Amino acid sequence: MQKNLFTEQPLILDLPDADIRYYPEFIDNSAANYRALVDEINWQQDTINMYGRPVLIPRMNAWYGDANAHYGYSGLKLAPQPWTPGLLLLKTKIEKFLQTEFNSVLANYYRDANDSVAWHADDEPELGAQPVIASLSFGATRRFSLRRKSANGIAPFHIELASGSLLVMAGDTQKFWHHQVAKIKQPVAGRINLTYRFITENTHGK
Ligand SMILES: O=C(O)CCC(=O)C(=O)O
Ligand SMILES: [Mn+2]
């Protein structure tokens, strides 16, 4: 059933120096939507350098966006692939809902319990000082953890990101907090996460 997006109340995470909202049922969470994204996105497994050695990152990913939206992290330089119809449709929905503009999306595909993303912040200079990151999840539920960069006695926070949910990180979130999706012991089905972003300047790939 299609929700009325404008009346849905978010869960506002009560974390200091962060602005994080969670909409558990933002979008149709059907298996068909998940499958369509698995098939539509041109997944690849990138290699990063760790202590001078090439290491495959423990997930599949893909970078899509406007032609000038170049992005880089962990030494990777990503040139945008042109928008797919599905990724563009979701972009428009989120832009209307949040009244903000995105020009790119990082797609992650966690194939099973061994796939993960390590502690990091989305704080690359090309995202600007207070980026709005809109994170859509499809498929299996996985735990998203947040940890204050300098702990100061503040406990980490965990939230299970359900299929069809939207998590919005804004304000100083990336400045003061790291986040991760850890690998887990129990078997779990695949999950896709799409983080819509706005690249403000092009310091990569040019
Ligand atoms: O999979 C997620 O929920 C988070 C992904 C993420 O942090 C990223 O792509 O930067
Ligand atoms: Mn991230």
d(CA 99, CA 116): 30
**Which CATH number is 75's domain given?**
2.60.120.590
**Residue 4, pLDDT above cutoff 80:** no
User: Going by C-beta distance under 8 Å and a sequence separation of 6 or more, which residues neighbour residue 105?
Assistant: 63, 64, 65, 87, 90, 91, 194, 195, 196, 197
Question: Atom 10 of ligand 1 has which residue's CA nearest to it?
Answer: 122
Domain annotation covers residue 6: no
Q: Which atom of ligand 1 is nearest to the CA of 167?
A: 3
Q: Which atom of ligand 1 is nearest to the CA of 161?
A: 3
Domain annotation covers residue 5: no
Coil, strand, or helix at residue 26?
A: coil
Give me the pLDDT at residue 202, please: 56
Three-class DSSP labels, 112-180:
CCCCCEEEECCCCHHHCCCCCEEEEEEECCEEEEEEECCCCCCCCEEEEECCCCEEEEECCHHHHEEEE
Domain annotation covers residue 118: yes
Domain annotation covers residue 2: no
Question: Atom 1 of ligand 1 has which residue's CA nearest to it?
Answer: 193
Q: Are 139 and 189 in contact (CB under 8 A)?
A: yes
Residue 108 Cα to ligand 1 middle (Å):
7
Going by pLDDT thresholds of 50, 70 and 90, the confidence category of residue 203 is low
Q: Are 35 and 185 in contact (CB under 8 A)?
A: no
Percent of the chain with pLDDT over 90: 82
Structure confidence by residue, pLDDT tens digits, 163-190: 999 999 999 999 999 999 999 999 999 9
Q: Domain of 86?
A: 12-197
**Residue 206, pLDDT above cutoff 50:** no
- Give the pocket of ligand 1 (CB within 6 Å): 106, 108, 117, 122, 135, 144, 161, 179, 181, 193, 195
Domain annotation covers residue 206: no
Number of domains in the chain: 1
d(CA 28, CA 206): 38
Structure confidence by residue, pLDDT tens digits, 13-44: 999 999 999 999 999 988 999 999 999 999 99
Domain annotation covers residue 133: yes
**Residue 159, pLDDT above cutoff 70:** yes
Mean pLDDT of 87-93: 97
Domain annotation covers residue 144: yes
Residue 30 Cα to ligand 2 middle (Å):
24
Domain annotation covers residue 171: yes
- pLDDT top residue among 168 and 203: 168
d(CA 159, CA 9): 17
Q: Is 115 exposed, middle or buried (0-12, 13-18, 19+ CB in 10 A)?
A: buried
Query: Which residues place a Cβ less than 5 A from the ion ligand 2?
Result: 122
